[in-house]
């Protein structure tokens, strides 16, 4: 197996992009303007508002620290975090064939299947899981790359689903759970932020 070409954290080498994200679109859509009240937009499971994006962005590390969103779907949520006022350094990861519509190719990766992991997670300071489809995905990333650079893991989804995912974060993680409506979202969604604790 050929090693992937080296890349830097700012430009992300084009040869590397072509290797790991062959389905990323050449062009992308601009994200819509958000209303003050939370609303569901096509291509995004979580209800979005100006306040929610601002509050979530404040909980994630600022650029140049890298944030990897695992299961980014259309990329709408991630594109909003890339834009003002958050301006995060973020890469979205989705399964091939990717349904990405909002992220530029330099901010998108595609993996070959639902059980494939993105190695860039080893370099990221924070991971983002928005409505992940299976608990095992979070477990596998933590088992494979949890000893790497990652310091923060953010999980967003329905309150009922969090009961299944909270067991992923055992010793070594401090977890804070906030109802999304306290941050500008819907009452039945939660935002869980796991912070790696010192050994």
What is the reported pTM?
A: 0.84
- Asked whether 69 and 92 are in contact (CB, 8 A), the reply is yes
Of the chain, the end-to-end C-alpha distance in Å amounts to: 35
Q: How confident is the model at residue 27 (pLDDT cuts 50, 70, 90)?
A: low
Q: How many CB atoms lie within 10 A of CB 82?
A: 22
Q: How confident is the model at residue 18 (pLDDT cuts 50, 70, 90)?
A: very low
pLDDT at 131: 96
- The backbone torsions φ and ψ at residue 122, rounded to the nearest 5 degrees and listed phi first, read -65, -25
Looking at the domain assignment, is residue 2 inside a domain?
A: no
Q: Print the domain residue range for 116.
A: 14-19+34-196
Residue spans of alpha helices (H) in the chain: 14-20, 50-59, 76-82, 135-145, 159-165
Tens digit of each residue's pLDDT (9 = 90 or more) over 135-162: 999 999 999 999 999 999 999 999 999 9
If one counts the domains in the chain, the total is 1
> Which residues, in sequence order, are bridge partners of residue 177?
192
Top-confidence residue, 81 or 13: 81
Strand 108-111 and strand 66-70: pairing? unpaired
CATH number assigned to the domain comprising residue 187: 3.40.50.150
Q: Which residues contact 12 (CB under 8 A, 6 or more apart)?
A: 91, 106
Rg (CA), the chain: 16
Lowest mean pLDDT among 17-21, 67-71, 173-177: 17-21
Tens digit of each residue's pLDDT (9 = 90 or more) over 35-72: 899 999 998 999 999 999 999 999 999 999 999 999 99
Q: Which residues contact 196 (CB under 8 A, 6 or more apart)?
A: 150, 151, 152, 172, 173, 174
Looking at the domain assignment, is residue 167 inside a domain?
A: yes
From 183, 166, 94, 168, select the one nearest 136 (Cα to Cα): 168
Looking at the domain assignment, is residue 6 inside a domain?
A: no
Looking at the domain assignment, is residue 7 inside a domain?
A: no
- Asked whether 131 and 46 are in contact (CB, 8 A), the reply is yes
3-class DSSP state of 197: coil
Looking at the domain assignment, is residue 106 inside a domain?
A: yes
Q: How confident is the model at residue 2 (pLDDT cuts 50, 70, 90)?
A: very low
pLDDT at 98: 87
Q: Tokens 């508002």 map to which residue?
A: 49
pLDDT at 168: 95
Looking at the domain assignment, is residue 138 inside a domain?
A: yes
- Asked whether 108 and 98 are in contact (CB, 8 A), the reply is yes
Looking at the domain assignment, is residue 8 inside a domain?
A: no
């Amino acid at each position: 197996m050929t090693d992937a070409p080296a890349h830097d954290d700012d430009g992300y080498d084009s040869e590397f992009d072509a290797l790991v994200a062959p389905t990323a679109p050449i062009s992308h859509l601009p994200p819509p303007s958000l209303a003050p009240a939370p609303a569901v937009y096509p291509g995004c499971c979580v209800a979005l508002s100006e306040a929610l994006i601002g509050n979530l962005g404040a909980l994630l590390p600022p650029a140049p620290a890298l944030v990897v969103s695992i299961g980014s779907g259309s990329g709408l949520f991630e594109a909003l975090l890339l834009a003002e006022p958050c301006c995060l350094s973020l890469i979205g990861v989705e399964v091939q064939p990717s349904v990405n519509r909002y992220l530029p190719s330099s901010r998108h990766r595609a993996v070959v299947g639902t059980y494939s992991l993105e190695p860039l997670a080893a370099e990221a300071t924070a991971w983002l899981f928005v409505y992940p489809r299976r608990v095992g995905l979070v477990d596998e990333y933590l088992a494979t790359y949890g000893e790497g650079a990652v310091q923060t893991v953010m999980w967003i989804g329905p309150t009922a689903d969090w009961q299944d995912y909270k067991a992923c974060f055992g010793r070594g993680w401090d977890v804070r759970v906030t109802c999304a409506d306290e941050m500008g979202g819907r009452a039945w969604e939660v935002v869980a932020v796991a912070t790696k604790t010192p050994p």
